[in-house]
Amino acid sequence: MDKADFVALYGGVFEHSPFLADRAFDAGLVEAPLTAGGVHAALTRMFRAASHDERLGVLNAHPDLAGRLAVAGGLTEDSRREQAGAGLDRLSDAEFSRFTALNAAYVEKFGFPFIIAVKGLTKTDILAAFEHRIDNAAEAEFDTACAEVEKIASLRLGDLLPDMA
């Protein structure tokens, strides 16, 4: 697989951040046969090596949960499917209001959207995590959000590639 194909296929695994796939390929971290674990390790290595501002950019590339992009139909297909799987596309008016208020408070406090790997979670689980994490210190929450981004990438790659031992 050439670089352009690799970046086209895996550049969106870390939301709107193809620079990570580009760097992983250039660093020689991409080896055949491609596996979910191997590609995840390569992309994660580049994410962790990125500057703080670059990682913050990756965090900010993520949409608000059940936010205005979801309402307007502006989510990536992966984000739309993940949020729908957790029931975030079927919120009551009260639930939507709560998510909107938490999203605003979270971004105000931390400077990036609340990020959580929603696969396997319910909207109740997500709200509980939201309400708990909003009390975190800024550095701890940045680290938590980065870990969640890596988990989301792993889940997405698991849907795209086999994982051979």
Domain hosting residue 114, numbered range:
63-148
What is the model's pLDDT at position 165? 47
| Half-sphere exposure (Cβ direction) of 158: Cα atoms closer than 13 Å | 7
Q: Is residue 41 domain-resident?
A: no
Selected catalytic residue, list 40, 52, 62, 132 = 62
Above pLDDT 70, what percent of the chain? Answer: 88
Q: 24: exposed, middle or buried (C-beta count within 10 Å: 0-12, 13-18, 19+)?
A: buried
**Cβ-based neighbours of 24, under 8 Å, separated by 6 or more:** 30, 39, 42, 43, 45, 46
Q: Is residue 5 domain-resident?
A: no
Q: Is residue 103 domain-resident?
A: yes
Instruction: Decide which of 163 and 60 is more confident.
Output: 60
Q: Is residue 129 domain-resident?
A: yes
Above pLDDT 90, what percent of the chain? Answer: 63
99-122 tens-digit pLDDT? 889 999 999 999 999 999 988 888
30-74 tens-digit pLDDT? 988 999 999 999 999 999 999 999 999 999 998 777 655 455 455
What is the model's pLDDT at position 6? 96
The answer to whether 14 touches 47, Cβ cutoff 8 Å, is yes
Question: What is the identity of the amino acid at 109?
Answer: K
Q: Which residue has the tokens 């580049």?
A: 46
The average pLDDT across 11-17 equals: 93
What is the model's pLDDT at position 80? 67
Mean pLDDT value across the chain: 88
Q: Quick check: is 40 catalytic?
A: no
The average pLDDT across 127-134 equals: 94
Q: Is residue 13 domain-resident?
A: no
Q: What is the CATH number of the domain that holds 140?
A: 1.10.3330.10
pTM above 0.85, yes or no: yes
Q: Is residue 52 domain-resident?
A: no
Q: Is residue 124 domain-resident?
A: yes
Q: How many folded domains does the chain comprise?
A: 1
Q: Is residue 35 domain-resident?
A: no
- Check whether the bond before 63 is cis (ω within 30° of 0): no
